[in-house]
Amino acid sequence: MIPKRAIYKPPFVKFLDQRLLPNKIFYVKTKNARQTAKAIKDMVLRGAPLIGCAAAYGYAIDLRFQKPRSWNKLLKQTKGAADILKKSRPTALALFYAVDRLHKKTLSFINERKTRPFDLKFYAKLIKIVENEAHKITQEDINSTIAMSNYGSKLLKKNSVVITHCNAGSLATMGMGTAVGVITAAHKKGKIKYAYASETRPYFQGSRLTAWELLREKVPCALICDNMAAHIIKTCKVNAIIVGADRIAANGDTANKIGTYSLAILAKYHKIPFFVAAPIPTIDLNLKTGKEIEIEERGEKEVIFIKTKRIAPKGIKVRHPAFDITPASLITAIITEKGIIKPVNSKNILTNFKK
């Protein structure tokens, strides 16, 4: 079993520190929105669905300690918490989905009662409502990973040799993962001959996290460097690529970890299917195409240093886009908790979304 990624236990939320994996199991505690946003930004936890659950718990724990004395104060403090959390990372839609969902609960609670004088009993009631909603978001995430794994494992053929990129496993969700969940479910059905995890420079989510998860699930697997993918596809009979997603535009263009787009091009060239597994809160119907998705640009240190070791000369300029956009035309199917979207186009995405 993968250790719990987030534990809501007031006065704290505890997050498994993924920066230390696979070498050390250690939890970072946060007690408000600011600390939770910092944990998200600093990659204590990561992966789109988990970021959403973490932000929900960050909003809830913050509310507990706001101790407002008026409706106005409550409104101001909860809006402040929502804003801080939403500024932590820009690309994963799950974060915005979770925070907006909780803040909407707060707003309708206030609107229904604001003609009456503020009372601490109301505040206690709101805390319960918000905490329940945060737990609900987490439970929905767990349930979707099970559903996606089911649908996705049916999609994979017997003797599958797959590549996955970044970490779209249990560590990226509160459940069994998206892309890696599909691989482990297919493995349990005896369909996985071999799985390759690409190391995922510069943050090594593949080597540190996915490799660790695949080994624990006893999936026959090997770790490759990102630049080995084409050769491995050509020489090792890779017959599917499966990844997660951080945000999917209405037309199916998909933002995922930097390097995903190159793998999709390789899949097209080698005529193998390219699958994306992602829950519904990843789909952004407000954005027509991937061009509108904001790509997070992270700091240069993560590229120049490996842990504390400098690996590039002082003074070198660095680019560090953390995600890229894979056009819908390169995606064979999107696996959601509501079923398979194939072919990937606006119409099919909308139908799946509304199911």
**C-alpha to C-alpha distance for 78 and 156, rounded to whole angstroms:** 44
Per-residue tokens: 135: 């737990």
Say whether residue 86 binds ligand MRU (CB under 6 A): no
Q: Which residue among 78, 205, 332, 336 contacts ligand MRU (CB under 6 A)? A: 205
Max distance between CA atoms of the chain, in angstroms, equals 72
Q: Which residue among 85, 172, 183, 293 contacts ligand MRU (CB under 6 A)? A: 172
Q: Which amino acid is at 104?
A: K
Of the listed pieces 3-11, 76-84, 221-229, 239-247, which binds ligand MRU according to CB under 6 A? 239-247
Residue number with CB closer to ligand MRU (4 or 234): 4
**C-alpha to C-alpha distance for 105 and 86, rounded to whole angstroms:** 17
Q: Which residue among 238, 257, 281, 333 contacts ligand MRU (CB under 6 A)? A: 257
Residue count, binding to ligand MRU (CB under 6 A): 17
Q: Which helix (H) or strand (E) holds 323?
A: strand 323-326
Considering Cα of 92, then 170, then 61, then 104, what sign does the dihedral take?
positive
- Would you call 246 a catalytic residue per the annotation? yes
Q: How far is the CB of 252 from ligand MRU (least distance, A)?
A: 16
Angle among Cα 276, 135, 246 to the nearest 5 degrees reads 25
Residue number with CB closer to ligand MRU (55 or 322): 322
Query: Cβ neighbours of residue 225 under 8 Å, at least 6 residues apart?
Result: 198, 199, 201
Q: Which residue among 5, 46, 86, 247 contacts ligand MRU (CB under 6 A)? A: 46
Angle between helices 71-86 and 48-64 (to 10 degrees): 150
Q: Which residue among 28, 48, 63, 280 contacts ligand MRU (CB under 6 A)? A: 48
- Secondary structure (3-state) at 296: coil
**C-alpha to C-alpha distance for 207 and 204, rounded to whole angstroms:** 5
Give me the catalytic one of 17, 62, 100, 246.
Answer: 246
Do residues 334 and 264 lie in contact, with contact meaning Cβ atoms separated by under 8 Å? no
> Which of positions 133-162 make contact with ligand MRU (CB under 6 A)?
none
Say whether residue 166 binds ligand MRU (CB under 6 A): yes
Query: Cβ neighbours of residue 116 under 8 Å, at least 6 residues apart?
Result: none
**C-alpha to C-alpha distance for 47 and 14, rounded to whole angstroms:** 16
- Sequential DSSP letters for 6-48: EEEETTEEEEE-GGGTTT---EEEE-SHHHHHHHHHTTSS-SH
Of the listed pieces 40-48, 121-129, 234-242, 300-308, which binds ligand MRU according to CB under 6 A? 40-48
Q: How far is the CB of 181 from ligand MRU (least distance, A)?
A: 8
Q: Which residue among 213, 217, 246, 337 contacts ligand MRU (CB under 6 A)? A: 246
Q: How far is the CB of 42 from ligand MRU (least distance, A)?
A: 11
Q: Which residue among 58, 175, 206, 244 contacts ligand MRU (CB under 6 A)? A: 244
**C-alpha to C-alpha distance for 187 and 353, rounded to whole angstroms:** 28
Angle among Cα 157, 281, 249 to the nearest 5 degrees reads 80
Contact flags string 305-324 toward ligand MRU, x per CB under 6 A:
-----------------x--
Residue nearest to ligand MRU (CB): 244
Q: Which residue among 30, 32, 36, 49 contacts ligand MRU (CB under 6 A)? A: 49
Residue number with CB closer to ligand MRU (244 or 290): 244
Binding site for ligand MRU (CB under 6 A): 46-49, 92, 166, 168, 172-173, 178, 205, 244-246, 256-257, 322
Could you give the residue numbers annotated as active site? 246
